[in-house]
Amino acid sequence: MEAESYNRLSQQDPSGGATVSHPSSERKNFDVFLSLGGKDVRYTFTGNLFNALRSKRIKTLFREHEYEPDDDTNISPSALKAIQTSKISIVVFSPEYASSSKRLDELVAILECRMRTNQLVWPIFYGVEPTDVRFQRGRYEQAINRFEERYYSPERMNKWRAALAEVSNLSGWFYQKGHKYEYKFIRKIVEAAVQCLSRYDVFLSFCGEDTRYTLTGFLYNALRREGFKIFMDDEELEGGNQISQKLMGAIESSRVSIVVFSENYGYSTWFHHESIERIVERLINIEDEEAYNNSFPCSNDSYGEQ
């Protein structure tokens, strides 16, 4: 079952290597890919950050299993696909981060994606100085030295060093235990993600003259009262009009579309175009999300539970 889900998620990336292969055309189905720092933060900081992001309806993905220090296999196609299809990668650097060669390969893949698609990459330095990451000092130096002793290829080692230096120069966050409340620190990160991921929870599709001031209007107000962000267009389109870029963007950035069918709904060919476009996109989203969540059971509704 696990192999099947990996294959489904990676069907557009047959290489299976550490290179991201789909630059600008890759559909961004997920909001955040959370690259874990290691066992030292999985069940504490990273778990709390994951839950905080999910509580704001931010679609967040992360590995259910931990990379072991001796695991030298390639990054799975599903992990590469998850990186490719996320709008933001958040990398949590903890003291144990560099202990895994696979985790360092993942960092290289994230930065390759950033270079090719301008994906946002946010480093979080949790209990480790950014300069220690940049110059591989302390625990990071020890980890790199161990890999050198195991005769890792110079090319691979150079990629790791370059990636650590590059990511530590990006804008991010630094947290030192005992100097501030962790929940306030997490809240700042979540607020930044919410602001960056400006999109809608619900797209309301309807025929204005039929239901704007009755059913659809009442539904819009009820959803707003519950805190949902709604797109309800004000364009009155005549038959044959084409969908605008504004409305296409709203469709693509909405989690759910509610279609209110009324007597005159199908009068404009635009409405058919709109409905078909959204239905197709949603089916693609569901397929990719289910495949990834089958590979990483914890990434859907809860943290640390099967």
pLDDT tens for 94-142 read: 998 998 888 899 999 999 999 998 899 999 999 999 999 999 999 999 9
Q: Is 305 a catalytic residue?
A: no
- Distance, in Å, from the CA atom of 50 to the CA atom of 303, rounded to the nearest integer, reads 7
Contacts of residue 63, defined as CB under 8 A and 6 or more positions apart, other chains included, come to 36, 79, 296, 299
Active-site hit among 26, 66, 96, 106 = 106
* 240 Rama sector, left if φ>0, alpha if ψ -120 to 50, beta otherwise: left
Cα dihedral sign, 228-229-234-238: negative
Contact between 45 and 51 (Cβ < 8 Å): no
Q: Average pLDDT across each block of 10 residues of the chain; the chain has 306 residues. List them in order.
A: 27 32 52 82 87 89 68 79 91 91 92 92 94 94 89 87 95 86 93 81 73 77 81 56 67 76 63 53 51 41 30
Q: Cβ(250)–Cβ(198) under 8 Å?
A: no
Q: What is the model's pTM?
A: 0.62
* Fold annotation for 2-196: Rossmann fold (3.40.50)
Q: Where in the chain is the domain with CATH 3.40.50.10140?
A: 2-196, 200-286
Which CATH fold topology does 200-286 show?
Rossmann fold (3.40.50)
